[in-house]
């Protein structure tokens, strides 16, 4: 029982007076009768009595719902909770299956971290490859899109094309879904149009992805940043896109469709596209030579400064901390790093906000000559590993459990036919 709840008699069948009901709900007696008129509560008069009484279970259920609505804010997720063994975020750190995710990303490739998320086993030297037929189908589908198509749309079309090529996609056994993950991720990368003509289709996934993000030749330090970024971003508990994946998997959609659901949500400006906003801001800071007028313009327009703050971390995002340390070893990243530090310092005069992973990604994409959309592409490819892990976990749960009840607040029936 919560400290602020009155200790009512909870015997089975117990009925409450109007006064007791108002006390339990924390409202005036008049409001109790308003609940009755709206159909949220039902009342009854006892034989020989004049006052209304209310079923204690109904009143307590309404009290719980009112508390949830009062505590929750738009986008907070309310009391939604999903048991998972994949990612834990705690005390400004995060862990993949109990192991510090930043240490995993520092010591292992993206493919190795993905396997750890999926199976709980580390297999050194793991590399993902896709059949040529699957890649060809996905490439043809992506190449048919308009030139202005967003990265999320390209990846979603590639996922759909790969699904159409796979007649066994409806097999939701663990081994089959693992096979899907190992094929889908390299297919997504291979389906993206190359920027460099001498791009490599072999080697680690980060090498293959590099030539689809920038025309510059890669160096070892930059490739290490990209591979580490992919590993760091592989999962982050129940982000909005991951929740969408689990809802799809709960309905027993196949893994390609579940990933497509995640890609659809990822395209929102508050999720995967956030690094693009930080990218453009850094370009403005570099152009003007100082962050002050750029930050002032953001605030004057009523916008949040991109790349700062995270609801799950009180200090600096641990993913940003790792990437900033690696970027210090990339000589061409120094101007963008200084610009990012200027943004943090300028904003800190008024709000104690720390850098998040979007700002670190923006430093990387700006200094590597990549477009503003590159961060979204990196994010989507990386997070596909986590989506597969969550789909696998959800397939082991009761089907259709991700089905909350709607709280109807419209006119009570019967209403006249319009």
pLDDT beyond 80 at 65:
no
pLDDT value of position 79: 47
396: left (phi over 0), alpha (psi -120 to 50) or beta: alpha
Residues in the chain: 418
Mean pLDDT estimate for the chain: 89
pLDDT at residue 64, as a whole number: 81
**pLDDT above 90 (res 57):** no
Mean pLDDT for 213-226 is 96
Compute the average pLDDT of residues 72-100.
Answer: 79
**Residue range 338-367: average pLDDT?**
94
β-strand pairing of 99-100 with 93-96: antiparallel
Confidence of residue 4 (pLDDT cuts 50, 70, 90): very low
pLDDT of residue 13: 67
Comparing 39-48, 172-181, 262-271, 385-394, the range with the smallest average pLDDT is 39-48
Q: Of 187, 119, 108, 249, which Cα lies nearest the Cα of 381?
A: 187
What tens digit of pLDDT does each residue of 294-330 get?
999 988 888 889 999 998 998 899 999 999 999 999 9
pLDDT in tens, 370-400: 999 999 999 999 999 999 999 999 999 989 8
- DSSP-assigned beta bridge partners for residue 308: 355
Residue 328 near residue 367, CB atoms below 8 Å: no
Tell me which residue of 92, 119, 96 sits closest to 107, measured CA to CA.
96
| Cβ–Cβ under 8 Å, residues 90 and 96 | no
Q: Report residue 74's pLDDT band, with 50, 70 and 90 as the boundaries.
A: very low
Cβ neighbours, 10 Å, residue 59: 23
Q: Give the model's pLDDT for residue 12.
A: 54
Spatial separation of the C-alpha atoms in residues 291 and 346, rounded to whole Å: 7
- Choose the weakest-confidence range: 6-10, 116-120, 404-408: 6-10
**For residue 342, what pLDDT is reported?**
97
pLDDT in tens, 228-285: 999 999 999 999 999 999 999 999 999 999 999 999 998 876 677 789 999 999 999 9
Over residues 106-153, the pLDDT tens digits come to 999 999 999 999 999 999 999 999 999 999 999 999 999 998 998 889
Does residue 72 carry a pLDDT above 90?
A: no
């Amino acid at each position: 029982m919560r400290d602020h709840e009155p200790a009512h008699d909870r015997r089975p069948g117990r009925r409450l007076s109007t006064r007791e009901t108002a006390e339990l709900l924390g409202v005036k007696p008049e409001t109790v009768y308003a609940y009755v008129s709206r159909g949220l509560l039902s009342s009854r008069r006892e034989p020989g009595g004049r006052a209304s009484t209310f079923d204690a279970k109904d009143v307590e259920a309404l009290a719980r719902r009112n508390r949830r609505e009062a505590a929750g804010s738009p986008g907070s997720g309310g009391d939604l909770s999903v048991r998972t063994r994949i990612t834990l975020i705690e005390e400004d750190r995060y862990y993949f299956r109990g192991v510090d995710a930043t240490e995993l990303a520092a010591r292992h490739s993206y493919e190795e971290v993905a396997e750890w998320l999926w199976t709980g086993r580390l297999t050194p030297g793991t590399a993902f490859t896709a059949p040529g037929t699957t890649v060809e189908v996905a490439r043809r589908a992506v190449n048919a899109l308009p030139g202005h198509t967003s990265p999320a749309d390209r990846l979603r079309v590639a996922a759909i094309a790969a699904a159409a090529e796979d007649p066994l996609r409806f097999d939701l056994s663990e081994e089959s879904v693992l096979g899907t993950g190992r094929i889908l991720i390299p297919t997504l990368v291979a389906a993206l149009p190359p920027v460099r003509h001498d791009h490599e289709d072999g080697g680690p996934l980060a090498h293959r992805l590099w030539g689809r993000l920038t025309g510059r030749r890669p160096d070892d330090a930059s490739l290490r940043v990209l591979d580490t970024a992919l590993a760091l971003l592989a999962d982050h508990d129940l982000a909005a896109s991951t929740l969408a994946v689990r809802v799809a998997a709960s309905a027993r959609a196949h893994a390609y469709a579940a990933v497509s659901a995640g890609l659809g949500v990822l395209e929102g400006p508050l999720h995967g596209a956030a690094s693009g906003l930080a990218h453009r801001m850094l370009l403005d800071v570099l152009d003007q030579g100082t962050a002050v007028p750029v930050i002032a313009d953001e605030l004057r327009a009523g916008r949040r400064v991109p790349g700062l703050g995270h609801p799950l971390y009180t200090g600096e995002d641990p993913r940003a901390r790792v990437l900033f340390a690696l970027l210090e070893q990339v000589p061409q990243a120094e101007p963008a790093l200084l610009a990012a530090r200027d943004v943090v310092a300028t904003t800190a005069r008024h709000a104690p906000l720390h850098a998040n992973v979007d700002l670190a990604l923006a430093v990387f994409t700006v200094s590597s000559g990549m477009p503003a959309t590159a961060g979204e592409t990196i994010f989507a490819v990386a997070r596909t590993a986590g989506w597969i892990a969550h789909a696998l976990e959800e397939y082991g749960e009761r089907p259709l459990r991700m089905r909350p009840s709607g709280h109807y607040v419209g006119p009570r029936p019967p209403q006249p036919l319009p």
